[in-house]
Amino acid sequence: MKTTLLRAGLGLALALPAAAFAADVPQSFTATYNVLQGGSPLGNATLTLKPAGNGQFEYTNTSKGTAGLAAALGANSSEVSRFAWAGKVPQAVSYKLDQQTFKSKTRVLTVAGNTATVVDNGSKTYTYAAPAGMVERNTLPLALGVALSGGAKEATFPVGVKQSVETQSFKVAANEKVTVPAGTFQATRVDRTDQDRGFSAWYVPAKYPVPVKLAQKDGGDLTLELVKFEGK
């Protein structure tokens, strides 16, 4: 089961040190979601942000299949990111994916200086230049939420993927009422604009740094709906 749906990058101001924005970026939280596929329950997911020392943060996304084939296969995944706030961008330090279904998958990304190294499934290795402000797929919900809380109406930024850096873009499309287990919200809908992948995410920027709802056709018609948020 794949629950990390946001794959984008955000090119925002990077010149100011992270400390300058300490009051403007989240420091720790836990958010839980129901995961649906085609409108039917599939599992649950938990996002956790916490300080990791030395000016870095750890951002974890764990998911577990609890219904249907996902439960039968014991599907689960863990994504763990380390990053440092570069201005208001969670600039990548490392990323690790461990996904278990009928076929396991692993991926490890590390950034050293201006170079990103990716080891895929423990065998294939790729290297490429890592630009300033590069994020990776796991931290994108957070990166986009922080951008929206700062008043951004659109965002384009670099994302480190398996073999290269992708430039991905999002734009505020509408304000819509959304009802999820956590409540009913007047939310900002953001669509991906650089590719037609049927992606939308609904944010309440003044309240949460992550989406209250997220839907994407690419990857299995998946939807995440916020159940509970704790933190700041």
Q: Which CB contacts under 8 angstroms, 24+ apart, belong to 77-83?
A: 77/1, 77/2, 77/3, 77/4, 79/4, 79/138, 80/138, 81/136, 81/138, 81/139, 82/52, 82/56, 82/57, 82/58, 83/56, 83/57, 83/59, 83/135, 83/139
Res. 64 pLDDT band, cuts 50 70 90: confident
Write out pLDDT tens, residues 79-109.
999 999 999 999 999 999 998 766 789 999 9
pLDDT of residue 7: 32
pTM attached to this predicted model:
0.85
- Mean per-residue pLDDT for 151-170? 94
CB 203 within 8 A of CB 213: no
Write out pLDDT tens, residues 1-39.
433 333 332 233 233 333 334 458 999 999 999 999 888
pLDDT at 166 over 70: yes
Give percent above pLDDT 70 in the chain: 82
Torsion of the alpha carbons at 99, 117, 90 and 84, rounded to the nearest 10: 110
Mean pLDDT rounded to a whole number for the chain: 85
Provide the phi-psi class of 71: left if phi over 0, else alpha when psi is between -120 and 50, else beta.
alpha
- Per-domain residue ranges for the chain? 18-231
Res. 195 pLDDT band, cuts 50 70 90: confident
CB 35 within 8 A of CB 47: no
